[in-house]
Amino acid sequence: MKFFASCGKGLEYLLADELVALGCERATATVAGVNVEGELPDAQRAVMWSRLASRVLWPLAEFYCDSEDALYRNVAALPWQEHLAPGRTLAVDARVSGDAITHARYAAQRVKDAVVDSLRAGTGERPDVDLESPDLLLNLVVRKGRAVLSVDLGGGALHRRGWRRAQGDAPLKETLAAAVLLRGHWPQVHAEGGALLDPMCGSGTLLLEGAAMAADVAPGLLRHGGAVPSRWSGFDLAAWDALRAEALQRERAGREALRPVFFGSDVDPAALRAARANVEAAGFAEAVQFDERQVAALRPMQQVRGLVASNPPYDARLAADAQLYRGLGDALRRIAPYWRASLLCGSPELARATGLRPQKVYQVFNGALECALLVADPVQPPLREDSAPRPLGPGAQMLANRLRKNLRASKSWRVREDVSCYRAYDADLPEYAVAIDVYTEADDPDASWLHVQEYAAPADIPEADVRRRFGEVLAAAREVFGVPRERIATKVRARGKGGSKYAGAGGPERRGEYITVREGAARLRVNLFDYLDTGLFLDHRPLRARLQREARGKRFLNLFCYTGAATVHAAVGGAASTTSVDLSATYLQWAADNLRGNRVDGRPLGGQAHRMVQADAVAWLEADDGEYDLVFCDPPTFSNSARADDFDMQRQHVRLLQAAVARLSPHGVLYFSNNYRRFRLDEEAVAAFAACEDITAGTVPPDFARNPRIHRAWRLQLR
């Protein structure tokens, strides 16, 4: 059986790991949640023990839903007498998207009507609605013509632990607080005898979550003493009673063993009063010590090891500034240099302002606010005896010289064209067959990152030589660019069964680390570590600039849109509307984030003028009846996604282009590109429906001049 556990964006992989640890058979991260394979007792265990899940949804039905009538009809057909006993109360949450059903509140009303009418027809009685504490809370999701109706097994939002008596400004959700602590490895730190410090504790959320983890107190037990969360007739009461008994036993042992190693401070006496009230309500008053103190006045910690976990202010209401973060970083290096730190910062820029050297920076969301979760261990890295730079060996020195030569040769072009993300090296020396790309942060021209990708070495080159040469590449790159190792992403080919493949793309744990770069007037998000590609194909820079120049007032269509970089350029260029089509929900979310990160005339991009479509591009084109003035089509070489027909670009390009040209307005233009080295355009077939011009020479930028076949591009128009 499959069920769904929702969570805040950025917590998906943590939640998947947690659910597997709780005994679920399999958990797969998706956007803002996890698809879980397990039985009903597994789902109920998640309600009791998950510290990260927002809701646990057990599906009752999934059906095609293209209208409000279809919604009512399918819900009313369910056997509601098996789900809700007489005298019980009901409530419905709904989320809808698409054109068929557009109002979530009305959709919830129709579900409620269907349930009530069904029960009244079958029993002569109708259930009451209780929006505050219903016996059965239903959850409806309608997306792309499909509806999923589920039981909310937790009876509501699971972040509400039940101890909160008071709160300060912008309180942190308990689920996000748990993520901050888990990213900082708090359970391990506590097991090793460490302490927990929050120097900006507010109402104490992080300290309370940390104490509950250390005392092994189940979140479901804190909520109303572990009372049954749902009166759904299918809820396994015996299994819940067993879970509660186990949780109570673990709580007793955990509280008895809990050490008073929790320290919170704040400058706001009202926030500290709220924190003390909350700690008292949760039963941790004897374990937590509070102090009214400025960060700069913090005293050195007595414990050798511990975790600093904090959520410094960062939104407009709380008046965040870089100086505050800089002072926090200075204080932590002074009072706890050997501790870990896990800091939820308002942005990557504020995270850097701390001056700490993070092992990882994760992208997470505090509600709608995108944040950067910085993890450093230790706070102050020790000075190494061999910290002085070592001289490069002959091979690395030769490569460093070539890199400097390339940078000198490209400098005037980069300055003239205002290029901040570019290819600096492309296998110029046969011994060092790598590509080195530079990505400079949009808001900090001094902050550069490197993306180093290894080409396949000939089979007769010993593996030891391949590894040695790659080490020399990294040494040369660090010296020339002055970039610390944590800002160098590497994609290395590893030999194994089935041929060579790239290692280092995602690794055992995705970093979730994004940086924002600038390309002309567009701001774009890239991820250098988690995927084989970064989210921005640098060789298409001139073609994207052309699209931006030609987009004003046009209806723009981006097929196989990937992360939507071309869409952003068209939107920034003044496109009347944009439509972006891709089969990947991950890429479409990335594209939507890219749009939201840009503004035109002071307004953020997004909304109805910029449409995202999750679909197989060829099938969608052949079914679509829209008209577009400017189309960009950059398909993959092939795709064997389980969600669409197999796509082979060489075999199917004529069908694809014919379908795309059919959607052009009378004077519309289609730009077609691909990077398949052996691709051959069927010119005779294409000529039957379009005028076609090879424009490759004008679309390959100077930094890819050594590799002029990096892609090929054509301009097509109706005959």
pLDDT digits (tens, 9 = 90+) for 575-587: 999 999 999 999 9
Residues 183 and 99 in one domain: no
Query: What angle, rounded to 10 degrees, do the helices at 68-76 and 104-123 form?
Result: 30
Domain count, the chain: 4
CATH classification of the domain holding 706: 3.40.50.150
> What band does 504 get if pLDDT is binned at 50, 70 and 90?
low
Residues 114 and 84 in one domain: yes
> What band does 511 get if pLDDT is binned at 50, 70 and 90?
low
Count how many Cα atoms sit within 13 Å of the Cα of residue 17 in the half-sphere of its side chain. Answer: 10
Q: Is the pLDDT of residue 694 over 90?
A: yes
Report the phi/psi class of residue 585: left, alpha or beta, with left for phi > 0 and alpha for psi in -120 to 50.
alpha
3-state secondary structure of 201: coil
Residue 120 tokens, joined:
């009244």
Residues 499 and 630 in one domain: no
In a domain, 255, yes or no: no
Q: Is the pLDDT of residue 642 over 50?
A: no
Residues 187 and 127 in one domain: no
The pLDDT, as a whole number, for residue 508 is 41
Residue whose pair of structure tokens reads 């920034």 in the numeric block = 572
Residue 275 tokens, joined:
């924190």
Domain enclosing residue 404, as ranges: 394-503
Interatomic CA distance for residues 235 and 83, integer angstroms: 9
In a domain, 221, yes or no: no
Interatomic CA distance for residues 48 and 239, integer angstroms: 11
The pLDDT, as a whole number, for residue 224 is 77
Residue 83, phi then psi, degrees to nearest 5: -110, -25
Residues 480 and 592 in one domain: no
Q: Is the pLDDT of residue 363 over 70?
A: yes
3-state secondary structure of 107: helix
Q: What is the mean pLDDT of residues 610-639?
A: 92
Q: What is the mean pLDDT of residues 582-601?
A: 89
In sequence order, the 6+-apart residues with CB closer than 8 A to the CB of 199 are 264, 265, 295, 298, 308, 310, 328, 331, 332
The pLDDT, as a whole number, for residue 195 is 97
Cα 470–476–481 angle (5° rounding)?
125
The pLDDT, as a whole number, for residue 649 is 85
Q: Which CA distances in Å does 269 have to 261, 275, 327?
A: 21, 10, 20
Residue 409 bridge partners (DSSP):
none
The answer to whether residues 664 and 670 touch, using CB atoms and an 8 Å cutoff, is yes
Q: Is the pLDDT of residue 711 over 60?
A: yes
The pLDDT, as a whole number, for residue 460 is 80
In a domain, 93, yes or no: yes
In a domain, 695, yes or no: yes
Domain C-terminal end among 346, 376, 406: 376
> What band does 639 get if pLDDT is binned at 50, 70 and 90?
low
pLDDT digits (tens, 9 = 90+) for 423-442: 999 999 989 999 999 999 98
In a domain, 523, yes or no: no
pLDDT digits (tens, 9 = 90+) for 377-387: 999 886 554 44
Interatomic CA distance for residues 617 and 519, integer angstroms: 26
Q: How many CB atoms lie within 10 A of CB 482?
A: 9
Interatomic CA distance for residues 181 and 693, integer angstroms: 57
pLDDT digits (tens, 9 = 90+) for 204-261: 999 999 999 999 999 999 887 889 999 999 999 999 999 999 999 999 999 999 999 9
Domain C-terminal end among 455, 479, 503: 503
pLDDT digits (tens, 9 = 90+) for 249-307: 999 999 999 999 999 999 999 999 999 999 999 999 999 999 999 999 999 998 889 99
Domain C-terminal end among 503, 526, 547: 503
pLDDT digits (tens, 9 = 90+) for 446-467: 789 999 999 887 778 888 888 8
3-state secondary structure of 460: coil
Residue 371 bridge partners (DSSP):
364
Q: Is the pLDDT of residue 643 over 70?
A: no
pLDDT digits (tens, 9 = 90+) for 658-687: 999 999 999 999 999 999 989 999 999 999
Q: Which CA distances in Å does 564 have to 462, 523, 581, 593?
A: 40, 11, 9, 9
Residues 132 and 80 in one domain: yes
Helix (H) / strand (E) containing 341: strand 340-345
In a domain, 296, yes or no: yes
Residues 322 and 204 in one domain: yes
The answer to whether residues 366 and 372 touch, using CB atoms and an 8 Å cutoff, is no
3-state secondary structure of 539: helix
Residues 487 and 597 in one domain: no
407 CB burial (10 A radius; 0-12, 13-18, 19+): middle
Amino acid (1-letter code) at residue 604: P
In a domain, 699, yes or no: yes
In sequence order, the 6+-apart residues with CB closer than 8 A to the CB of 211 are 196, 217, 258, 262, 279, 282, 284, 287, 288
Residues 372 and 436 in one domain: no
**pTM summary value:** 0.62
In sequence order, the 6+-apart residues with CB closer than 8 A to the CB of 344 are 172, 176, 180, 310, 311, 312, 364, 366, 371, 372, 373
Residues 605 and 464 in one domain: no
In a domain, 228, yes or no: no
Q: What is the mean pLDDT of residues 639-643?
A: 52
The answer to whether residues 654 and 686 touch, using CB atoms and an 8 Å cutoff, is yes
Sheet holding 33-37, edge to edge: 26-30, 33-37, 2-6, 55-64, 146-152, 136-143, 89-96, 128-129
CATH classification of the domain holding 405: 3.30.750.80
Residues 655 and 547 in one domain: yes
Taking alpha carbons only, the member of 15, 11, 288, 7 closest to residue 158 is: 7
Q: Which CA distances in Å does 532 have to 9, 436, 529, 544?
A: 22, 14, 8, 21
The answer to whether residues 692 and 654 touch, using CB atoms and an 8 Å cutoff, is no
CATH classification of the domain holding 103: 3.30.2130.30
Amino acid (1-letter code) at residue 101: I
Taking alpha carbons only, the member of 154, 142, 57, 74 closest to residue 103 is: 142
Residues 335 and 430 in one domain: no
